Structure formats: structure tokens, C-alpha cells
Structure 1
Amino acid sequence: MRAEVVIDVPFHDVDSMEVVWHGHYLKYFELARCKLLDEFDYNYQQMKASGYAWPVVESHIRYAHGIVFAQKIRVVAILKEWENRLKIEYQIYDLSSQKRLTKGYTIQVAVRIADRELCFVSPPALLTRLQQWSAFQSD
């Protein structure tokens, strides 16, 4: 399962060298992650309504090539794990050349909102949506 977004890098995301500040890469990952979560109807509002929060507990970014002001980029999010946690991998490409600029991942875990208990397996609310999405895709 994957989703992607295209971003025109804005001026307010760059430093004095017109290179994207390293912290903004996580924002770009988040934009692609939200689109991915929308694909199977379990974005943050649906998570909360189902009684779970999904905090990011780990992130990793490999900065291979700098991204610059006004560059058009394509950010791809790929769901890799979902049984016990959400592991989403990301790749950022230059839109015109398709050169990969960055890669990384985030890990999120389910936490029951009612008692703030960490869940060691993904809740049925997520698994049901993924099954429904999968069935819809194979039709």
C-alpha cells in the first residue's frame, strides 16, 4: 500500500543557503503519511474516534541529496508493517529527474486513549480498515 504527494518547496522551508532545513523533511513525510492513511480511511480523526492515538515513537532520515527552494519533489509513503505497529517508509524524489533525494521511515504504535496503555498488537479498528481496503482493491 502506497501513496504519494507532490510538493513545491516553499521559501519558508529553506535556510540561508536555500536548502531545506533538515527538520522539514519530517513534515514532508507527514503529508505523504496522511495521504496514505486516507487511502484506507484511518487518518488521525478516525484513529481518535476509534479510541486510539498513534504517536510516532521512532523516525529515521537518510539525507542523500539536498532539496532546494522551488524544487518540485514527489514524496512516496509505503506501509510496510501494521500487525504490531505502523512502519511507514518514505522516499523523496526530484519530480523532473526522478532522482531519489532522501529516504527514511517512521514507526507509530497504538495507545488506548482511555487509559494511555500501549498496545502490543494493532487494534481491530486498523486491521478491519486494512482488510476492507484490500478487498476493495482486489474487486
Structure 2
Amino acid sequence: MHADVIIEVPFHDVDTMEVVWHGHYLKYFEIARCKLLDQFDYNYKQMRDSGYAWPIIESHVRYAHGILFEQKIRIRATLKEWENRLKIEYQIFDAKSGKRLTKGYTTQVAVDMHTKEMCYQSPQILFERLNAWAEFKAE
């Protein structure tokens, strides 16, 4: 399962050399991650409403090629793991040439919002949402 978003790099994301500041890559990952979570109706509002927070506990970015002001990029978020955690992998491509510019991943775990305890398995609601999405896509 994956989701793609295309954005044009705004001026406020770049440094004086018109290269995207390294911290903004995680923002781009977040934009694609939300689009992915929307596909199976379990974005942050639905997570909260189901009684769970999903903090990011790990992130990694591999900067292969710089991204420039006004460059159109495509960010792909791919769900890789969900049984015990959410691991989402990302790739950023130049929208025109298709050249891969960056890759990375984030890891999130469920935390019960009432007890503040980390869950060692993903909550049932996640599996229900993923199964409903899979059934819908199969129709």
C-alpha cells in the first residue's frame, strides 16, 4: 500500500543557496504519510478518537541529491510494517525526470492515551481499518 503526493518546493523551505533545508524532508514525509493514512481512514484524528496516539519513535533520511526551490517533487509513502508498529518508507523523486532524490523511513508505535502505556502490538482498530480498506479495494 502506498500514496503519492506532488508538491512544488516553496521559497520558505530553502536556504540561501536555494536548496531545501534538511529538516523539511521530514515535513514532506509527513504530508505523504497523512495521504497514506487517509487511504484506510486512520489518520491522526481517527487515531486519537480510537484512544491511541502514534508518536514517531525513529526516523531516518538518506539525502542522495539536493532538492531546489520551485522544483516539483513526488513523495511516495509505503506502509511496510503494521503488526507491532507502523513503519513507513519514503522516496522522493523529481516529478519531471523520475530521478530518486531521497529515501527514508519513520517508525511509530501505539500508545494507549488513557494509560500512557506503549502497546507491544498494534491495536485491533488498525487491523480493522486495513482489512476494510483491502476489502473495498478488492471489490
- TM tier, shorter chain? over 0.9
The residue that corresponds to 1:16 in the other structure is 16
Deviation per CA, 1:8-49: give whole Å up to 9, x if none: 000000001100000000000000000000000000000000
User: Number of paired residues?
Assistant: 139
The residue that corresponds to 1:2 in the other structure is 2
Would you identify which runs of 4 or more consecutive aligned residues in structure 1 move more than 2 Å?
none
Amino acid in structure 2 at the alignment position of 1:27 = K
Task: State the secondary structure of the residue aligned to 1:34.
Answer: helix
Q: Distance in 2 between matches of 1:38 and 1:3?
A: 9
- Identity across aligned pairs (percent)? 70
Q: Distance in 2 between matches of 1:138 and 1:61?
A: 33
Q: Distance in 1 between matches of 2:34 and 2:46?
A: 12
Aligned-pair distance for 1:138?
A: 1.1
The residue that corresponds to 1:128 in the other structure is 128
The residue that corresponds to 2:75 in the other structure is 75
TM-score of the pair, normalised by structure 1? 0.99
TM-score of the pair, normalised by structure 2? 0.99
Task: State the secondary structure of the residue aligned to 2:62.
Answer: strand
Consecutive unaligned residues in structure 1, runs of 5 or more: none
The residue that corresponds to 1:109 in the other structure is 109
Consecutive unaligned residues in structure 2, runs of 5 or more: none
Aligned-pair distance for 1:137?
A: 0.9
Q: How does 1:51-90 map to 2 (within 5 A)?
A: 51-90=51-90
Aligned-residue Cα RMSD (Å) equals: 0.4
Amino acid in structure 2 at the alignment position of 1:44 = Y
